[in-house]
Chain A
Amino acid sequence: MIVCQNLSKSYGEHKALQDLNLTLEAGDAFGFIGPNGAGKSTTIRILATLQEPSEGEAWVGGHSVLSEPDAVREVLGYMPDQFGLYEGMRSWEYLEFYAAAYRVPRQRWKGLIDEVLELTDLTVKKQSFVETLSTGMRQRLCLAKTLLHDPKVLILDEPASGLDPRARIELKLLLKELSRMGKTLLVSSHILPELADFCNKVGIIEAGRLLASGPVNSILAQASRDRFRLRIRVLQKNQEARQLIEKSLEADDVAEESDALVLSTAVGLEGQADLLEKLVRDGFRPVEFSQLKTDLEQIFLEVTQGITQ
């Protein structure tokens, strides 16, 4: 549904995007992760036909963003990271404007507007002026306008930014529902655990380069195949225990988190069992010895180097 081939974008000497290759199938939910200035928004703007790549080519829904931009806009719903609504318009008028903008036949406007308002839980705000809506409601209204023309592909740039926890949860549920409906989603976000909840693929970008990309499970498995993250808590003699752990597990990145030690090690299960036995034998009285699951945040930290452009 989305194909990027050697996509590059330069602003003079500065290369915002370098040789990005990406393929998303229909129904995929892709989480696009990267620090500020990594090239996420540039990629998204190219896919939304708002910018043209300096090199390479991209296709959305089988249409080239270069030579068939209008066909791309027909199948694409785009929600930018920063957006403004037109004050002085009612919610239904705002949606009507975008229904006309997407050339939806006039006779379908009313039914569609009611449908998307219901989907985004804004039916009660149909007659309200947009300036009276809360930030979360505005976000949902913007998402409603993105869904009006029933696009096959949805590109959402930081959809959860500026939302309170409740609104974030509501948005996450909505995105899950859209994913279940078979839409192809490309979502960029800083809130990685939320992406992991509903995305089946992720891509990590830094300094204009796509560092890792693929199904979430395979990336997680690949990251946790060689190393283990452990959480160990003992009741007494913390410092001595730490020295013993560092020595036994050959770990040099031991961190303290609320009376517990969190570390990463390449030592296998046998070595870990030996350590536990030694801790008990030496009288450290361990109360917690657990393996932590590797999450997206961990992978993100491991893959990226904190380079900013």
Chain B
Amino acid sequence: MKFLHSLAGWSWNNPVTLKELRIGLRERRIFILQTVYLCFLLLVSLMYLPNMFVTPNSEQLAERGKEFFFLLFALQLMLLLVTAPALTCGSLSSERERHSLDMVLASRITSGQLVSGKLGFAAYCLILLLASALPLASICFFLGGVTLWEAFACYFELFLFGMLAACVGLFSSARESRSNYATVQSYLLVLASSFLIPFYLALRFEDHSSTHVTLGPYFWTFNQVWELSVYHFFVGIAGYLISFLFVKARHRVRPEARNLNAMAGLFLLLYLFCLAWAAGLYSLAYSGSNHTDQDPLAVLIYLAHICFVGFFLNPGQLESRLEQQRFRASPFSRPLFWLGLCVLGCLAPMGILKMLALKQDFSVWNLTFTLFFLGVYPLSVRFFQRAWLPRWQFAWVYYAGLVLLQFFPALGSFSAQGSYWRMTFVSPFSTLFSLADWSGHRPYNDREEIFVLAIGFHLLLMLVLGAVYRWRTRRPPQSVA
């Protein structure tokens, strides 16, 4: 009952949502937004529709219906990415500007209720926009080519990505005290992410069995395991990012230990989701064969790595004495916990392969060096932070530099036949894995030599950084009286 009460307070019974709806729907902003949104869709549809019915062949007609549906999908996706941040980017910063946030925070509204209330308003507006465009999209149902399940999946995804963009706006709004800054920041973030959309819409993957698998909503048929699994992966990642930004925004409103714990818990959930996803993918796609693919494993190891380095670079810092005590009491505040997680992150994929009785060529070398690097990277970054620049932003830049160093050997992973995108580039550890034999690529014959060189480089780097730290923190000799 307590959970239900809490859920109601966060969702349908949230006073903040009701207040936002009262104010928002009285303004002309939403009406203008909806009109522009629909007019744009209508304009593009009118340009497309005359050519649609000239094909006599029913199969081609269905094909045209599918094209039209996914054209609308792509358009709506881009429009939502533009409109959704506008719904939230001023929500919390404007409260700060008009000095009303303190009164809300001094009431019994929790920070979670406040943030979910603002997000709830954005969700209602998104549903309004998507629902109002449904009649236009339903034209394709006359033509065929799109099943109800496909339409539902696409609309769900549109809503999810819209919510993700709204969460970016909300996070910026929680972070900044001025609405102008929040707006610029959220649009820059969305714009930077939008460069990935064309890749996402027409993503092409090839697996090693040389069967061409085409991914991206335009080509989706939802009949193939690959397509479904990638859809689930993107939905899962979007869900994670929404939750993460939500908790981050909540933490900005009122810093609490429970938010740090929630963020760490979300990392764990994401990791478990990826494990389950990879296990499901392997068991469905490759059961019966002895073929393995390194990409999902690389994703898992990459994520585990991010958890670890992320914790080391940006450990929980709370102003509040009580909240500090609370965070210290949780296992998430302990480096050993994250070290254990990283070891698990390396071992679990191998466990999956073993469980599924698939071929694996995991040498002890690979494991040892991967574990070694898992320790060396964050330590190196911490050394750098202490020795040179204490600001975490610079530490991240330094970390990015380390990753880039690993990028060069990864260049050898490009296939001679075609330079298709591979997960090997996302992490130095996946690069190490790519150098192993089981991917089929073997650009370097003496991989042990590379490992030794890399270890030597890192040890030297840490020695230098340690020396600099000692030199910078040295105390002047005390004069003897």
Contact B19 A66 (CB under 8 A): no
Chain B contact residues: over half helix, strand or loop, or mixed? Answer: helix
Within 8 A of B (CB), among A20-58: 45, 48-50, 52
User: At the interface, yes or no: B474 with Cβ under 8 Å from chain A?
Assistant: no
C-beta contact mask, B16-36 vs A, less than 8 Å → 1, else 0?
001100110011000000000
Number of interface residues of A (CB under 8 A): 31
Closest residue of A by beta carbon distance from B9 = A103
Q: Given the complex of chains A and B, what is the CA–CA distance between A82 and B101 in angstroms?
A: 11
User: At the interface, yes or no: B322 with Cβ under 8 Å from chain A?
Assistant: yes
Closest chain-B Cβ to A140's Cβ sits at a distance in Å of: 15
Contact A73 B107 (CB under 8 A): yes
When distances are taken between beta carbons in the complex, the residues of chain A under 8 Å from B102 are 45, 48, 50, 78, 80, 83
Contact B105 A50 (CB under 8 A): yes
Q: Given the complex of chains A and B, what is the CA–CA distance between A102 and B107 in angstroms?
A: 6
C-beta contact mask, A86-116 vs B, less than 8 Å → 1, else 0?
1111000100011011110000000000000
User: At the interface, yes or no: A165 with Cβ under 8 Å from chain B?
Assistant: no
Given A73-B108, A88-B22, A89-B19: A78 in contact with B322 (beta carbons within 8 A):
no
User: At the interface, yes or no: A76 with Cβ under 8 Å from chain B?
Assistant: yes
Pick the residue among B27, B97, B107, B320 that contacts A101 (CB under 8 A). Answer: B107
Q: Given the complex of chains A and B, what is the CA–CA distance between A88 and B109 in angstroms?
A: 21
Within 8 A of B (CB), among A286-302: none
User: At the interface, yes or no: B98 with Cβ under 8 Å from chain A?
Assistant: yes
Q: Given the complex of chains A and B, what is the CA–CA distance between A102 and B105 in angstroms?
A: 11
User: At the interface, yes or no: B100 with Cβ under 8 Å from chain A?
Assistant: yes
Contact B99 A84 (CB under 8 A): yes
Closest chain-B Cβ to A186's Cβ sits at a distance in Å of: 14
Pick the residue among B22, B99, B106, B108 that contacts A50 (CB under 8 A). Answer: B106
Contact A80 B322 (CB under 8 A): no
Contact A52 B322 (CB under 8 A): yes
When distances are taken between beta carbons in the complex, the residues of chain A under 8 Å from B109 are 101
Contact B22 A93 (CB under 8 A): yes
Q: Given the complex of chains A and B, what is the CA–CA distance between A78 and B319 in angstroms?
A: 23
User: At the interface, yes or no: A118 with Cβ under 8 Å from chain B?
Assistant: no
Q: Given the complex of chains A and B, what is the CA–CA distance between A79 and B103 in angstroms?
A: 7
Within 8 A of A (CB), among B2-53: 15, 18-19, 22-23, 26-27
Contact A101 B99 (CB under 8 A): no
Contact A84 B15 (CB under 8 A): no
When distances are taken between beta carbons in the complex, the residues of chain A under 8 Å from B105 are 50
When distances are taken between beta carbons in the complex, the residues of chain A under 8 Å from B104 are 101
Pick the residue among B19, B97, B106, B320 that contacts A97 (CB under 8 A). Answer: B19
When distances are taken between beta carbons in the complex, the residues of chain B under 8 Å from A221 are none
Number of interface residues of B (CB under 8 A): 23
Given A84-B98, A88-B26: A97 in contact with B18 (beta carbons within 8 A):
yes
Pick the residue among B15, B18, B103, B108 that contacts A80 (CB under 8 A). Answer: B103
Contact B99 A98 (CB under 8 A): no
Closest residue of A by beta carbon distance from B97 = A84
Contact A97 B15 (CB under 8 A): yes
Closest residue of B by beta carbon distance from A99 = B15
C-beta contact mask, B86-129 vs A, less than 8 Å → 1, else 0?
00000000000111101111111100000000000000000000
When distances are taken between beta carbons in the complex, the residues of chain B under 8 Å from A74 are 108
Contact A84 B108 (CB under 8 A): no
When distances are taken between beta carbons in the complex, the residues of chain B under 8 Å from A277 are none
User: At the interface, yes or no: A173 with Cβ under 8 Å from chain B?
Assistant: no
Tally of contacts, chain A with chain B, CB under 8 A? 67
Contact B23 A89 (CB under 8 A): yes
When distances are taken between beta carbons in the complex, the residues of chain B under 8 Å from A76 are 106
Contact A78 B99 (CB under 8 A): no
User: At the interface, yes or no: A70 with Cβ under 8 Å from chain B?
Assistant: yes
User: At the interface, yes or no: A67 with Cβ under 8 Å from chain B?
Assistant: yes
When distances are taken between beta carbons in the complex, the residues of chain B under 8 Å from A101 are 15, 104, 107-109
User: At the interface, yes or no: A235 with Cβ under 8 Å from chain B?
Assistant: no
User: At the interface, yes or no: A251 with Cβ under 8 Å from chain B?
Assistant: no
Closest chain-B Cβ to A224's Cβ sits at a distance in Å of: 39
Within 8 A of A (CB), among B278-328: 319-322
Contact A103 B108 (CB under 8 A): yes
Closest residue of A by beta carbon distance from B100 = A84
When distances are taken between beta carbons in the complex, the residues of chain B under 8 Å from A87 are 23
Closest residue of A by beta carbon distance from B14 = A100
User: At the interface, yes or no: A280 with Cβ under 8 Å from chain B?
Assistant: no
> Could you say which of B27, B107, B109, B321 has the most chain A C-beta atoms within 10 Å of its C-beta?
B107
Closest chain-A Cβ to B241's Cβ sits at a distance in Å of: 29
User: At the interface, yes or no: A85 with Cβ under 8 Å from chain B?
Assistant: yes
C-beta contact mask, B134-158 vs A, less than 8 Å → 1, else 0?
0000000000000000000000000
Q: Given the complex of chains A and B, what is the CA–CA distance between A73 and B111 in angstroms?
A: 14
When distances are taken between beta carbons in the complex, the residues of chain A under 8 Å from B320 are 52
Given A100-B15, A100-B18, A103-B108: A80 in contact with B26 (beta carbons within 8 A):
no
When distances are taken between beta carbons in the complex, the residues of chain B under 8 Å from A70 are 108
When distances are taken between beta carbons in the complex, the residues of chain B under 8 Å from A103 are 108
Contact A85 B100 (CB under 8 A): yes
When distances are taken between beta carbons in the complex, the residues of chain B under 8 Å from A78 are 102-103, 106
Closest residue of B by beta carbon distance from A142 = B103
Q: Given the complex of chains A and B, what is the CA–CA distance between A2 and B322 in angstroms?
A: 20
When distances are taken between beta carbons in the complex, the residues of chain B under 8 Å from A79 are 103
Contact A82 B99 (CB under 8 A): yes
When distances are taken between beta carbons in the complex, the residues of chain A under 8 Å from B27 are 88
Closest chain-B Cβ to A68's Cβ sits at a distance in Å of: 11
When distances are taken between beta carbons in the complex, the residues of chain B under 8 Å from A102 are 107-108
Contact B19 A52 (CB under 8 A): no
Q: Given the complex of chains A and B, what is the CA–CA distance between A89 and B15 in angstroms?
A: 13
Closest residue of A by beta carbon distance from B322 = A66
When distances are taken between beta carbons in the complex, the residues of chain B under 8 Å from A84 are 97-100
Contact B107 A80 (CB under 8 A): no
Closest chain-B Cβ to A107's Cβ sits at a distance in Å of: 15
Within 8 A of A (CB), among B45-71: none
Closest residue of B by beta carbon distance from A104 = B108
Contact A52 B107 (CB under 8 A): no
Q: Given the complex of chains A and B, what is the CA–CA distance between A145 and B103 in angstroms?
A: 10
Closest residue of B by beta carbon distance from A54 = B321
Q: Given the complex of chains A and B, what is the CA–CA distance between A89 and B23 in angstroms?
A: 6
Closest 9 CB pairs of A and B: A84-B98, A100-B15, A101-B107, A88-B23, A78-B106, A82-B99, A84-B100, A52-B320, A48-B106
**Can you name 20 A-B residue pairings with CB atoms under 8 Å?**
A45-B102, A50-B102, A52-B320, A66-B322, A73-B106, A74-B108, A76-B106, A80-B103, A83-B102, A83-B103, A84-B99, A85-B100, A86-B23, A86-B100, A88-B23, A89-B19, A98-B103, A100-B15, A100-B18, A145-B103
